[in-house]
């Protein structure tokens, strides 16, 4: 039986994130999630470099780099599912959060039975939230959301034009 590894020290963890070495006016700074993405540890940069230089390909084709890409994604989904206590089929990777939100909005618009009185709201973080929210309604014939087509929601469409200052996703 092996004993568990000791928890890494804070200094070790910090050393793995090059962005945490950054200083502004002499003081250490940290930039978290933002429009440019989340800061990553050195291992992620090394893995991405390895992938881009030696395995980069579209998925689901019958040539070596595509097969390697599929295997890497499957392994990553499995590892993340284990980490969060989910199933690999529940894990999605995408180019960025905006693209993932866009696809989620479209999927919800197709899957959810929106009716009169339903409200689709958004977090108000900026333009990236407007398109998926609008798309959730606009993909249904005859529905529009303010900002997507400029016309607002038609009467009895089940959607309601919302302020760009709304602060939460909700459905009722």
- pLDDT digit string, tens, across residues 20-31: 888 999 998 877
Cβ-in-10-Å burial (0-12, 13-18, 19+) of 120 comes to buried
More confident site: 143 or 111: 111
- In DSSP notation, 20-86 reads GG-EETTEE----S-TT-----HHHHHHHHHHHHHT---SS-SSHHHHHHHHHHHHHHHHHHHHHT-
Q: Is it the case that residue 72 has pLDDT exceeding 90?
A: yes
Q: Is 158 left (phi over 0), alpha (psi -120 to 50) or beta?
A: left
Output the average pLDDT for the chain: 74
The lowest-confidence range among 26-30, 96-100, 116-120, 142-146 is 142-146
What's the full length of the chain, in residues?
172
Q: Is it the case that residue 140 has pLDDT exceeding 60?
A: no
Q: Which residues pair with 24 in a beta bridge?
A: 27
More confident site: 63 or 165: 63
């Amino acid at each position: 039986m092996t004993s568990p590894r000791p928890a890494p020290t804070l200094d070790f963890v910090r050393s793995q994130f090059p962005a945490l070495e950054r200083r502004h006016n002499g003081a250490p700074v940290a930039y978290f999630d933002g429009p440019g993405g989340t800061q990553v540890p050195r291992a992620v940069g090394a893995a991405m470099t390895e992938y881009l230089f030696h395995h980069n390909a579209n998925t689901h084709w019958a040539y070596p780099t595509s097969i390697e890409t599929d295997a890497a994604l499957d392994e990553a989904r499995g590892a993340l599912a284990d980490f969060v206590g989910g199933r690999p089929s529940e894990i999605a990777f995408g180019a960025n959060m905006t693209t993932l939100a866009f696809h989620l909005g479209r999927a919800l618009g197709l899957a959810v039975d929106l009716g009169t009185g339903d409200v689709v709201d958004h977090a108000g973080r900026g333009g990236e939230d407007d398109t998926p929210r609008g798309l959730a309604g606009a993909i249904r014939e005859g529905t529009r959301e303010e900002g997507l087509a400029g016309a607002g929601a038609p009467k009895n469409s089940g959607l309601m034009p919302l302020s760009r200052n709304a602060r939460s996703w909700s459905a009722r």
